[in-house]
Structure 1
Amino acid sequence: MTLDLARLPRQSRAGSVRRLELPDALRGFALLCAPVLDLLCTSALEFAVMSAALLALLLGVSFATRVDGPGEKPGAVRLIARRMLKESVAYRHLWVRLLQASLAAGLVAVALPQGGAPLVLALFAICIAAFVLMFQQLRWRRWLRKLSPMGCIWSANYLVQVLFVLGLFHVLEPRFGLLLGVAVPSVAIAVLQAVFSCMWLARSRPAALERVRLGGQAG
């Protein structure tokens, strides 16, 4: 079965759909959402799987929205991902299908004897698809766009989260367990990152902000 790119919608009938701030907001939401889902993790392996999935999403969004060089043509998968992010309303049906598939995968994971990691990954995909669908609504977008600063500097925020979790895992986990020793503090640091990212970018000069944005697209 092949996918005909010529049949894919190029423009939404509902008006402008080029949500250029969606990739940044999505990265910020992923950084905020992953530590919350870590509360469901019960082993170090599940923490590692969740961190790897988060990094894959961050890199995937950056790769899909990266500016092409002269004469460079994006592949089919990258082209579809770029359109789904920058023209999300026109590709709403694909996001709905992703949400439905993630829900089905989550139900299957619940039935598995050792379905901890698959369940967390399915919930992560559900959150991402639901976020994009909510971002298309004006009343929600006014609030969700506040996560864009966190996504603009996603590489620094991700590195801080990983180092923070590793430090807590070695220092506190033997005493308090994964829940109180790692997961709960990780949620707190993610919330603080969202606040400080907004404050840092709000005080930055326009040129510095543009460099951060371009760096996020190139990353």
Structure 2
Amino acid sequence: MIRIVIADDHTLMREGLKRILESTDDIEVVGEATDGFGVLAHVRKGGFDLLLLDLSMPGRSGIDLIRQIRTESQKLPVLVLTMYEEEQYAIRSIRAGAQGYLTKESAGTQLVHAIRKVASGKPYISMEVAEQLALDIMTPEKPLPHSQLSNREFEIFNLLAQGKTVTDIGQQLHLSVKTVSTHKSRILNKMGMHSISEIVRYAVAHNLLAPFEK
């Protein structure tokens, strides 16, 4: 039996995932988390075999959360399930320590297979992501500006591109306004930009924005 914890702040999504999994005889949902703090509480408590993790949740989230999970539990399999389709998120997730990456759009047909594969110790990523990881190793091409951002900067970059204010971001990520403002300045500097509108245009041009969840 594969015991999993579902981490997603949307109740309807968690219920939908449980309905998909209830038809299986080898997967059991033993816990749920709605924010990064809840995720870490489950990781520290243990008693499950795989974490099904959304990248965007209140509190600590995203790539930094994966890194913290890996610090707390080196062997716990993490399967990312997210709205983000752009390969950059998958690559950052895998490098941070996730064993698999699946979009919510594909969950209906691929979720059970992905869980079984990751739980067995094998990676689950798309062919496109695998190719991109290989290209990153094989080709010394100049990286795109957003790939130079730290994981926290990349998370804040995306929230800024979504139209979130510095105050909104601080509340969502549990950071002070001053800290978010500092990250914002570093992002603009690294990206060679001067305004949020430039960030939005860049994010749209490079397909970095997550689609709106229904």
TM-score, normalised on structure 2? 0.26
Query: Which has more strand, going by share of residues?
Result: 2
TM-score, normalised on structure 1? 0.26
Query: Which has more helix, going by share of residues?
Result: 1
- Looking at CA atoms only, which structure, 1 or 2, has the larger radius of gyration? 1
